[in-house]
Amino acid sequence: MTGLLRGGLLATVLAMPAAAEEVTDFTLNNGLQVVVIEDHRAPVVVHMVWYKVGSADEAPGNSGVAHFLEHLMFKGTDDVASGDFSATVMAQGGSDNAFTSWDYTAYFQRVAADRLDLMMKLEADRMRDLRLTEDDVATERAVILEERSSRTDSDPGALFGEQTRAAHYLNHRYGTPIIGWRHEMEQLSRADALEFYRTYYAPNNAVLVVAGDVTPEAVKAMAQQHYGPLAPTLDLPPRLRPTEPPHMAERRLQMADARVAQPYVIRSYLAQERNSEAQDKAAALTVLAEVLGGSGTTSVMARALMFDDPKAVYASAFYNGNTLDVGSFGLTIVPVPSVSLDQAEAAMDDVIADFLTDGVDPVALERIKTQVSAAQIYGKDNVSGLAQRYGAALTTGLTVADVQAWPDALKDVTADDVMAAAREVFDRRNAVTGHLEKQGEPAL
Amino acid sequence: MTMFRMMAVLIAALAAAGPGRAEIGIQEVTSPGGITAWLVEEHDIPFTALELRFEGGTSLDLPGSRGAINLMAATLEEGAGDLDAQGFAAARDALAADFSFSSGQDTIGVSARFLTENRDTAVGLLRQALMEPRFDEDAVARVRGQILAGLAADTKDPATLAAQIFDAMAYGAHPYGSSGDGTAESVASLTRDDVIEAHRATITRDRMFVSVVGDITAAELGPLLDRLLGDLPEVGRQMPTRADWLLEGGVTVEAFDTPQSVILFGHDGIKRDDADFFAAYILNEVLGGGRFGARLMTELREKRGLTYGVSTFLAPINLGQMMMGQVATANNTVGQSIELIRAEWTRLATEGITAEELAATKTYLTGSYPLRFDGNGQIADILVGMQMDGLPIDYAVTRNAKVEAVTLADVARVAERLLQPGQLHFVVVGQPDGVVSTE
């Protein structure tokens, strides 16, 4: 309980699949992809449906509708009354929830393995038969506005993050917040939600992931019974979203807010994302983020900025490449009180410049490779985490084979690969740099 | 091996009624040196999770050095033996071991996981951190700076402010009345000697609880426990006295410029070892379980859209007991939300719960219990918590029967005793419309 900084603000996480997990995948006739991950240690199962649609697929002017629909999906169908979905899961001792990202929307339940059939029945039912009243919609719109107040408007860091993303993406919907801009959220209607639902919530736009104490044969039989009869969306639009034009001008943002306790600098560059059968560059960028900022003690940035010449209480690097379209690579520094944001940014840039000259410490690279291998072992202990990894991959353009090839892609990264990735990604024309300051305090 | 005094007699098979049936064998292992741990052997994956708890936590801070124990726990990983902070982190990462050290108002926690292939080396490194931490001046200064940054952030966080105000009013001068992180002033004045003293006084065998889950046998664990923990000091600082509840019903408003107010509310609670604890637990689930279907969630969110989330919880802390709740809502609906919460509190205190609510809650609680035992680290965490709560090793087997045994009359009795609408105190941090502090 030493505050958020030691907890790892913007900490990078190596997402490592365990190659040895038992995975089976198949596709139903209506287009539903199914992934089964076996873990027979405990009689528990995680049942997830992932839709290949997220906030970046929304129409202009409708920001927040993907997330709004996620809330409304708990409101009932022709067969299940409003609120009864969660009540039924609860009556089985299970838990359920959902989440929305730029690239996907997912619904999941965690229950005893012998309750899987009922979960499939419920989830299949709401894939095509959602019923919404105007009252449901009005009340839930108030809830998402309160959610925005809690998560974003009450937090200057979250507000600044929105502004930074909006400046970073010139054309892509990644620049629009998942929860939506407030003025657009206020206008979201029942028709907006239902149109989005009818188009995108269909078996041929979904991935079913079942993980735990199950067999592929049993899952296949159940999936065919419950999901098999659902009609696909025949005119499912291709997933072509606005792409980024060449970036020619660096962007810089400054924001001040009275609620800021800890000023910081954040810099984000556009970066190559993971792509199917072409993950090498993403693997190099993942290792680069680890080398620069993975450890709060021994990474290049931590060592230089927190130890050798302590200008920061926190400094790190992060890579977000698990995206359908262009990803990002970032650097951040939270200076000690006597260092200004300009000085902090200059110190951060000096560290990167030195790194580009000095190269990768081979011992550090070796440590990271060891941790990659260990993560495959530790990862097997968390079957929900595995399910999440596959679901996210399969809704961002990757395949089961890509997920299983990823640990080796990371292990194959050489020092030269890391440096090549660094030289390519650190292009200020692609970057946005933000300074978040305390309001009412003169800059140092 | 013959010296090994193993008391692996009790194998508690967790077999729950209702949906879900998990079986885990919990063994009590006593090392040759007399250290007791609860163990679950799980040899499918080649690693082990270890949880240590030292009772007392930051409540053992000496007067005038508030925050010393928190600073100490946060500096344990910053160098030990002949390794400085850089050397320690590099050695740990080269083994792909994870160690984390934390402190709370009742405990200091150590969580570790390490691979079977280098277990002895990893345990040796962890032993150094516990037994021979360096607390180098530069490390203490660096961590102090990070804690001060966190404390500065706390002053701008409405939820943290609400908790600090509530705790201060509820517990006054008792350690529970202030944050174990300390204040900017107290932390700034802490010295390396304070940190060393905090370590000696709190990481001791007389208050230690241990659980281990993973790829290790009982025979292997005994010597490991002695090597890791055998040389710790026997006796630590005396525990504080119980904390008296000082707060009366009412409202306290702390002005804070934000569009949405954060509200923390509660009154005195119920002890973990109270005969009616399970009835109270069910009562709380019906009232304010964070799930859909709970009464407050239904009234505030589902019917009226006043909030993204509202919940209540029982907090039977070591030296006191609280029944608390929290909600965030727009400034112009704070008054309405407080009225609804008071009304639900009163309705439940006078009418109790329905037979349907009792049945549904029992089904949920008994069905979900086995699902908690998911993953080595998670199981280790549950087992060490059971020991701290003074529960028997077969608790996992008997727990659901205790839930099932609760009757409507039990819940009605505990509702009348526990729920005191007039004693509810609300701390509001924000700019609420038309709501002012009482008195």
User: In b/e form, how buried is each residue of B36-59, taking b as 16+ CB within 10 angstroms?
Assistant: ebbbbbbeebebbbbbbbbbbbbb
Q: What is the 8-class DSSP label of residue A320? A: E
Amino acid at B48: T
- Residue A110 to residue A95: CA distance in whole angstroms: 5
Per-residue pLDDT of A81-109, as tens digits, reads 888 888 899 888 898 999 999 999 999 99
The helix (run of H) or strand (run of E) holding residue A118 is: helix A116-128
Whether the CB of B292 is below 8 Å from some CB of chain A: the reply is yes
Nearest C-alpha of chain A: how many angstroms from B374? 7
For B87-121, give the DSSP string: HHHHHHHHTT-EEEEEE-SSEEEEEEEEEGGGHHH
Backbone torsions φ then ψ of B158, nearest 5 degrees: -60, -35
Sequence-distant (≥ 6) Cβ neighbours of residue B372 within 8 angstroms: B378, B382
Torsion sign across C-alpha atoms A397, A402, A404, A405: negative
Query: Rounded CA gap, A327 and A316, in Å?
Result: 17
Rounded to whole angstroms, the Cα distance separating A76 from A126 reads 8
User: With contact defined as beta carbons under 8 Å apart, do A196 and A65 qualify?
Assistant: yes
Match 């002949």 to its residue by tokens: B82
**Is residue A15's pLDDT more than 60?**
no
- The residue from A70, A140, A184, A437 that is catalytic is A70
Chain-chain contact of A154 with B158 (C-beta, under 8 angstroms): yes
Q: Which chain B residue's Cα is nearest to A75?
A: B302
Contact B19/A at CB under 8 A: yes
- Contact status of B43 with chain A (Cβ, < 8 Å): no
Contact, B255 vs B372, CB < 8 A? no
> Which B residues, 209 through 238, put their C-beta within 8 Å of a C-beta on chain A?
none
Q: Give buried/exposed letters for A46-57 (b at 16+ CB in 10 A, else e).
A: bbbbbbbbbbbb
Q: Do A382 and B329 touch (CB under 8 A)?
A: no
Q: How far is B416 from chain A (nearest CA, A)?
A: 27
| Average pLDDT over chain B, rounded to an integer | 93
- pLDDT higher for A166 or B24? A166
Is residue B151 predicted with pLDDT exceeding 70?
Answer: yes
pLDDT recorded at residue A441? 66
Contact yes or no for B328 and A149 at CB 8 A: yes
Most distant pair of Cα atoms in chain B: their distance = 74
Rounded CA separation A298/B90 (Å): 7
Enclosing H/E stretch for B49: strand B47-55
Cross-strand bridge partners of residue B126: none
Query: Which residue in A141, A85, A143, A126 sits closest to A109, CA to CA?
Result: A85
| Contact indicator for A66, A57 with CB cutoff of 8 Å | yes
- Do residues A178 and A66 touch, judged by C-beta distance below 8 A? yes
Give the span between the Cα atoms of A102 and B356, in whole angstroms. 40
Question: What helix, strand, coil percent values describe chain B, rounded to 5?
Answer: 45, 20, 35
Structure tokens at B288: 């304010």
Q: What's phi and psi for A73, nearest 5 deg? A: -65, -10
Q: List helix spans (H) across B203-333.
A: 218-229, 277-288, 295-296
**Cα gap A95→A46, rounded to integer Å:** 10
Mean pLDDT computed over A137-154: 95
The pLDDT tens digits of the residues spanning B167-225 come to: 999 999 999 999 999 999 999 999 999 999 999 999 999 999 999 999 999 999 999 99
What is the Cα–Cα distance from A18 to A381, expressed in whole angstroms?
Answer: 10
What's the CA gap between B301 and A96, in Å, rounded? 17
Helices A65-72 and A190-200 cross at an angle (nearest 10°) of 90
Q: Is the pLDDT of residue B241 over 80?
A: yes
Q: Quick check: helix, strand or coil at residue A58?
A: coil
Q: Which residues of B touch A83 (CB under 8 A)?
A: 292-293, 302
ipTM above 0.90, yes or no: no
- Distances from the Cα of B402 to the Cα of A371, B20, B275, B365, angstroms: 43, 17, 10, 11
Rounded mean pLDDT of B315-337? 96
What CA–CA distance (Å, rounded) separates B128 from B118? Answer: 16
- Asked if residues A231 and A299 have their Cβ atoms less than 8 Å apart, the reply is no
Q: What is the pLDDT of residue A7?
A: 27
Task: Give the separation between CA B322 and CA B325, rounded to whole angstroms.
Answer: 10
Residues 6+ apart with CB under 8 A from B354: none
- Tokens, residue B366: 């008994």
Partner-chain contact A307 B85, CB within 8 Å: yes
Q: Residue A70: which residues within 8 A CB-CB, separation 6 or more? A: A98, A99, A100, A105, A107
Q: How much is the pLDDT for B6?
A: 33
Q: Which residues of B touch A373 (CB under 8 A)?
A: 96
pLDDT range class, residue A440, cuts 50, 70, 90: confident
**A203-228 pLDDT, tens per residue?**
999 999 999 999 999 999 999 999 99
pLDDT above 50: residue B9 = no
**Exposure letters A314-343 (e unless 16+ CB within 10 A, then b):** bbbbbbbbbbbbbbbbbbbbbbbeebebee
Q: How far is A41 from chain B (nearest CA, A)?
A: 8
Instruction: Write out residues 65-84 of B within 8 Å (CB-CB) of A.
Output: 70, 73-74, 78
Please write the tens of the pLDDT for every residue from A227-280.
999 999 999 999 999 999 999 999 999 999 999 999 999 999 999 999 999 999
**A70 assigned to active site:** yes
Q: Spell out which residues of chain A touch residue B78, defining contact as CB-CB under 8 Å.
A: 297
> What average pLDDT score do residues A408-419 get?
97
If you count them, how many residues does chain B have? 439
Question: Nearest-CA neighbor of B241 among B117, B422, B56, B374?
Answer: B56
User: Which pLDDT value is given to residue B292?
Assistant: 77
Residue A200 Cα, gap to closest chain B Cα (Å)? 26
3-state helix, strand, coil in chain A (%, to 5): 45, 20, 35
Query: Tokens in use for B241?
Result: 């006295």
- Alpha helix ranges (H) inside B117-275: 119-131, 137-154, 158-171, 184-188, 192-202, 218-229
Phi, psi dihedrals of residue A243, rounded to the nearest 5°: -105, 170
pLDDT digits (tens, 9 = 90+) for B350-384: 999 999 999 999 999 998 998 888 899 999 999 99
Rounded average pLDDT over B99-120: 97
Task: pLDDT band for B12, please (50, 70, 90 cuts).
Answer: very low
Helices B158-171, B137-154: inter-axial angle, 10-degree rounding: 90
Q: Strand A105-112 and strand A95-100: pairing? A: antiparallel
* Portion 378-437 of A in contact with B at CB < 8 A: 378, 380-384
Q: How many CB atoms lie within 10 A of CB B394?
A: 14
Let me know how many helices (H) and strands (E) chain B has, helices first.
15, 13
Contacts of B136 in chain A (CB under 8 A): none
Question: A261 touching B, CB under 8 A?
Answer: yes
Please tell me if residue B10 touches chain A, with a CB cutoff of 8 Å: no
Amino acid A442: pLDDT: 58
Predicted pLDDT of residue A91: 86
β strands within B249-387, DSSP E: 250-255, 260-268, 310-315, 322-330
Ranges A6-10, A18-22, B69-73, B285-289: which has the least confidence: A6-10
What is the pLDDT, as a whole number, of residue A444?
55
Tokens representing A268 are 């984000």
pLDDT class for A136, splitting at 50, 70, 90? very high
CB A227 within 8 A of CB A30: yes
User: Which DSSP symbol is given to A313?
Assistant: E
Contact A4 B153 (CB under 8 A): yes
A93·B369 Cβ contact <8 A? yes
Q: Give the single-character DSSP code of A247.
A: P
Q: How many CB pairs under 8 A join A and B?
A: 223
Could you say which of B94, B149, B376 has the minimum Cβ distance to residue A381?
B376
CB-based contact A112 B104, cutoff 8 Å: no
Closest B-chain CA to A41: B44
**In whole angstroms, what is the distance from residue B60 CA to residue B238 CA?**
8
Whether residue A12 has pLDDT greater than 50: no
Helix orientation angle between A362-379 and A280-293, rounded to the nearest 10 degrees: 110
Among residues 222-241 of chain A, which lie with CB inside 8 Å of chain B? none
**CA triple A372-A365-B121, angle to 5 deg:** 65
Interface test with A, best of B102, B146, B195 (most A CBs within 10 A): B146
Distance CA B172, CA B246 (A): 7
Q: What tokens were used for B188?
A: 């700034």
What string of DSSP letters covers B236-261?
A: -PPPPPPPPP-PPSEEEEEE---SEE
Confidence of residue B320 (pLDDT cuts 50, 70, 90): very high
Cα B389 to Cα B391: distance, rounded to the nearest angstrom = 6
Average pLDDT taken over every residue of chain A: 92
Residue B304 and residue A83: Cβ atoms within 8 Å? no
The CA distance from B197 to A316, in Å, is 33
Chain A positions touching B307 (Cβ under 8 A) are: 143, 146
- The residue ranges of DSSP E strands in A202-357, in sequence order, are 206-212, 251-257, 264-271, 312-320, 327-335
* pLDDT confidence bin for B23, thresholds 50/70/90: low
Most A CBs within 10 A among B147, B254, B336, B371, hence the mutation to make, goes to: B371
What digits encode the pLDDT tens for the residues A157-204? 999 999 999 999 999 999 999 999 999 999 999 999 999 999 999 999
Residues B257, B156: contact at Cβ < 8 Å? no
pLDDT score, position B47: 97
Short-list A379, A422, A410, A373, CA closest to A287: A410
Tokens, residue A400: 């089961």
> What is the number of residues in chain A?
444
Tokens of A417: 């690969």
Nearest-CB residue to A139 (from B19, B258, B304)? B304
Is the minimum CB–CB distance between A172 and chain B shorter than 8 Å?
no
* pLDDT of residue B19 exceeding 70: no
Instruction: Please state the rounded mean pLDDT for residues A336-362.
Output: 97
Residues of chain B with pLDDT > 90, as a percent, come to 90
Instruction: Find the CB nearest B375 among A141, A313, A382.
Output: A382
